[in-house]
Structure 1
Amino acid sequence: MYLGLDLGTSGLKGVVIDDKGSVVAQASAPLTVNSPQATWSEQDPESWWQACLEVIELLHQRLDLSKVKAIGLSGQMHGATLLDQNGQVLRPCILWNDGRSQAQCEALMTQFPELIERSGNLFMPGFTAPKIRWVQDNEADIFAKLAFVLLPKDYLAYRLTGTMSSDCSDAAGTLWLNPQTRQWDDALLAATGLTQANMPTLYEGCDLVGELSPEVAQALSLPVLPLVAGAGDNAAGAVGMGVTNPNQGFISLGTSGVYFTVSESHKANPENTVHAFCHALPNRWHQMGVTLSAANSLAWFAKLVGQSVAELLEALDDCPDHTTRVLFLPYLSGERTPHNDPLANGQFVGLSNTTRVEDMTLAVLEGVAFSLLDCQNALDSAGSRVEELSLIGGGARSALWRQIIANVLNKRLIYRDGGDVGPGLGAARLALLGEQQRQGKAIEALIAEYCTMPDALAVHQPEAATQAYYQHKYALYQSLYQATKDLNDKLAQSSW
């Protein structure tokens, strides 16, 4: 068996697969996000380790983990985990949806315009490099002690093995990697006061990086197992869904929303806010559009009205008409594609005395779908088109939401077995590939054998009768951001 550990924003999942790639067990432990100031988003790395211990214990209760042959990791991208010379954490990790470093992004792009070409991506507050510049500008005492920067899953790897490693897919999201060469870039590092001595060793996602230390193996009641480098959550999700070749793609409805397509080479398109990163597998790259609050928007609204997400969706099942006059902008954490605006606000528009909770729930589902259409349009302009998409993530469990997205994107969507644990499944598959590769098997043959698309559980075709409705609302959705941007900027700058 093979174990995948997926370190997400809201929880850590463990997924165990057998030697045929089938999921045999899973478990999860929750995580919380701290927001000490507006636009800030942080987590304590120690909470990741405690969640890892909890998940391993839960899995022990469900099956015999002595049969596990290797471990793989996936994780939330871009987080800045700062360590001192002794490997001790210096401050809470600054997460992917943290918006505090907008001024640093603007300064970096002004001072070093060549950095965009070298990284292939715009400097956005969510990425890791501007976070370090913010620490340098605002927490000089912390920066002076900084010896190593690790991404969230790579910190977990460090705790498991004592080695500092990363993979190309996750490292590409730091803005310190040149995705074309798949190596750290000295000029990109120097722009934020760092060198390669501050960086972990780079590997492909299926490469072995070390073994569990004897102390950790004993604490986890596991053998001294090999660990592979793993992948950023989206690349891992692609491996889990068999999205490994050019012109394949998927949508992830997790805390954030991701529109992911595979390319045969590094195809940078920063002018359209497209992320162009390395894939987790050798000789592959990918492009992404990202909306920062997907399933999080629905979870936020459920908490606001004192209902569960399931209750909100069940109420919509009883509605004969799935249309509403209400519009929703899902910019609760700012937005990346297409606006690159950390100060963008979430909004409901069109409320009246007759508005029901069901109208607002439906508007949230539509708003997230429209934000994914923004991503699709950006990717189309970058020359990245796919005919059909797989769906993964917790939000993809809703058949209604899947159908709305199919209608809005005017694409065939396929919900596949294992879609709710896609990144964890991908991490376990990378562990399998790494163990088999160690036995001398060729990686391309292994990818073809094990990185297949799981069975389809549901297929959603776009409904022609809905096209006029969604096209009209999407035009209003686009105009709403532009019409209210100045007002939102003034609100963000208000001292009260």
Structure 2
Amino acid sequence: MYLGLDLGTSGLKAVLIDENQALVAEATAPLEVARPHPGWSEQMPCDWLAATEAAMAALGARADLSGVRAIGLSGQMHGATLLDASHEVLRPCILWNDTRAAAEAAALDADPAFRSVTGNIVFPGFTAPKLAWVRAHEPDVFDRTALVLLPKDYLRLWLTGEAVAEMSDAAGTSWLDTGARDWSAPLLAATGLSRDHMPRLVEGSEVSGTLRDSLADAWGLPRGVPVAGGGGDNAASGIGMGVVRAGDGFVSLGTSGVLFAACDAYAPDPATAVHTFCHALPETWHQMGVILAATDALNWFARTCGTDAATLTGGLGPLQAPGRPVFLPYLGGERTPHNDAAIRGAFARIDHAADRDALARAVLEGVAFAFRDSFDALAATGTRLERLVAVGGGAKSDTWVRMIATLIGLPIDLPQAGDYGGAFGAARLGMMAATGQGAALATRPPIARSLDPVPALADAFGEAHATYRATYTALKGLDR
């Protein structure tokens, strides 16, 4: 059996699969996000460890873990976890959706070496600008920093005692030479760091260390279980859904929204604000359009209405032409295609007829329009998608998925019951590390059905998307 651990923003998920990649058991433990100031987003790393302990206790109550042969890791990307020389945590981790380092990101991005070497814009949510912010605003913490780890790699340090990162996650730091798959000493120096501050690098399907004996004994696992490099959450989801070859992609409707395309070669185009990262398999890459609030936007509106997302959207019925209200889902800024940390969400074009259902539908439409923006940005790089799979909690809504399918003009497959996201992909990477079988294990999940675009609504959604883009242009600048 193989264990996958996925350290998400809202929880830690553990899954156990057998030799045939069938799900044996799963467990989750919740996590909270602290927002001490506007635009800030933090978590305490000790909470990740407590969540892992809780999830493993629940998993152990549901399955015999003595047959586990390997562990894989997946996790939220970009977080800055700062440790001193004794590996003690110096401050709360600054998370992926934290935008406090916008000025520092712009300053680093003004150096052409960053885009040239990393293949990406330096976004405020990336790790390097966060260290530049700490250097400027918390110099005592910066001076004591001896090791910088991404969230799942802090979990790995606790699991194995090894300070290791892998390529897909490291590509989101703004310190990786993404084509060469190695840390860039000049980019590290630009933020006052060196290779000595960085973990060693492995591929996602390689062994990064072995589980500590004390944890193996406590959880009922064999001693000496290898821990694979794993992947950033989206790369691991790509492994879980078999999205590893050019033309394959997925739509992730989670807290954030991702339109993910596998690539056979490294072909960056930073000006589009598309992310170009290493994939979790050797000599492969991927591109992503990323929106910062997908289900997060829907959950926000549901809370505002005093209900939950399922109740809010349950009575909306099948897909129909867009309504008059327009919603911009930029609750904490936006990445693709705007690279705009200051923009904030808004409702526009509201009239007396705009009841709760109309506004809820506008939220779904706004997120779908943001996916269309990412699709257009990917197309501008020359990347072509041939088929898509939907993943994430929002994919349970046929109306939402069909809305996106109509906007991008491609059918979207829905897997059979089961979660083929980051935790499942992490378990597969553990299996690859233990067996050496590699990409052959990354097969597509069984597809239950496909949701096709609705041609009769294509023009209406296209016109509504144009209005959405015009609304962004009109709003831009008001939050500066």
Fold conserved (TM > 0.5)? yes
Quick one: distance in 2 between partners of 1:316 and 1:28?
A: 30
Which secondary structure does the structure 2 equivalent of 1:486 belong to? coil
Q: 1:458 aligns with which of 437, 449, 454?
A: 449
Give the Cα separation in 1 of the matches to 2:82 and 2:456.
52
Q: What per-residue deviation string (whole Å, max 9, x for no partner) do you get for residues 170-200 of structure 1?
A: 0000011101110111011111111111111
**8 Å contact 1:243–1:453 — kept in the other structure?**
yes
Residue matched to 1:185: 184
Superposed displacement of residue 113, structure 1:
2.1
SS in 2 for 1:261: strand
What whole-Å deviation, never above 9, does each CA across 1:20-52 have from its counterpart, x for those lacking one?
111222111111111111111111111111110
* Match among 435, 439, 451 for residue 447 of structure 1: 439
Letter in 1 for 2:403: I
Letter in 2 for 1:261: A
Task: Give the corresponding residue for 1:397.
Answer: 396
Query: Measured at CA, do residues 321 and 375 of structure 1 come closer, stay the same or move farther in structure 2, by a change above 3 Å?
Result: closer
Distance 1:480 1:435, change over 3 A: same
Question: C-alpha distance in 2, partners of 1:42/1:322?
Answer: 39
Alignment of 1:473 onto 2:467: no
User: Hey, what does 2:86 align to over in structure 1?
Assistant: 86
**Could you tell me whether the CA contact under 8 Å between 2:319 and 2:399 is conserved in 1?**
no
1:290 is paired with a residue of what secondary structure? strand
CA contact (8 A) 2:71 2:430 kept: yes
Show CA shifts across 1:273-297 (max 9, x none).
1111100001101111100001111
1:298 aligns with 2:298: yes
**Which amino acid is the alignment partner of residue 457 of structure 1?**
A
Preserved contact between residue 119 and residue 177 of structure 1 (Cα < 8 Å): yes
Distance 1:398 1:381 in 2: 29
Judged with a 3 Å threshold, the aligned counterparts in structure 2 of structure 1 residues 202 and 417 are, in CA distance, closer, same or farther, namely farther
Q: Does the 8 Å CA contact 1:387/1:412 hold for their aligned counterparts?
A: no
Judged with a 3 Å threshold, the aligned counterparts in structure 2 of structure 1 residues 411 and 321 are, in CA distance, closer, same or farther, namely closer
SS of equivalent residue, structure 1 residue 61? helix
Amino acid at match of 1:246: A
Match of 2:30 in 1: 30
- Provide the residue aligned with 2:66 in structure 1: 66
SS of the residue aligned with 2:46? helix
Unpaired segments of 5 or more residues in structure 2?
Answer: none
The amino acid of 1:67's aligned partner reads G
The equivalent residue for 1:484 is 475
Q: Which residue of 1 aligns with 2:285?
A: 285
User: Matches of 2:49 and 2:478 in 1, distance apart?
Assistant: 42
Determine whether 1:238 maps to 2:238.
yes
**1:167: which partner in 2?**
166
In structure 2, give the amino acid aligned to 1:372.
F
**Letter of the aligned partner of 2:60 in structure 1?**
H
Alpha-carbon contact 2:320-2:457 (below 8 Å) kept: no
Give 1:421 shift.
4.4
For the residue of structure 1 that corresponds to 2:478, the secondary structure is helix
Alignment of 1:224-235 (within 5 A): 224=223, 225-235=225-235
When normalised by structure 2's length, the TM-score is 0.98
- Structure 1 partner of 2:269: 269
Partner SS state of residue 66, structure 1: coil
What amino acid sits opposite 1:77 in the alignment?
M
Moved more, 399-408 or 72-81: 399-408
Helix, strand or coil: the match of 2:266? coil
SS in 2 for 1:237: helix
Distance 1:24 1:377, change over 3 A: same
1:56-455 equivalences in 2 (<5 Å):
56-110=56-110, 112-224=111-223, 225-317=225-317, 323-417=322-416, 420-437=419-436, 443=437, 446-448=438-440, 450-455=441-446
Q: Which residue of 2 aligns with 1:493?
A: none
Counterparts of 2:271 and 2:231, CA distance in 1: 26
The CA deviation string for residues 61-97 of structure 1, in whole angstroms up to 9 with x for no partner, is 1111111111100000000000000001000000010
Tell me the secondary structure at the aligned position of residue 97 of structure 1. coil
Residue 221 of structure 1 deviates from its aligned partner by 3.2
CA distance in 2, matches of 1:27, 1:351: 42
2:459 is matched by which residue type in structure 1?
A
**Shift of residue 352, structure 1, vs aligned partner:** 2.5
2:50 partner amino acid: Q
User: Bigger CA drift: 218-227 or 132-141?
Assistant: 218-227
CA distance in 2, matches of 1:405, 1:63: 38
What is the deviation of 1:420? 3.7
1:251, distance to aligned residue in structure 2 (A): 1.0
SS of the equivalent of 1:227 reads strand
Q: Given the two structures, how large is their TM-score scaled by the length of structure 1?
A: 0.94
Give the RMSD, CA atoms, in angstroms: 1.3
Pair 1:371–1:419, CA change in 2 (3 A): farther
Displacement of 1:322 after TM fit?
Answer: 6.0
- How far apart in 1 are the matches of 2:55 and 2:423? 12
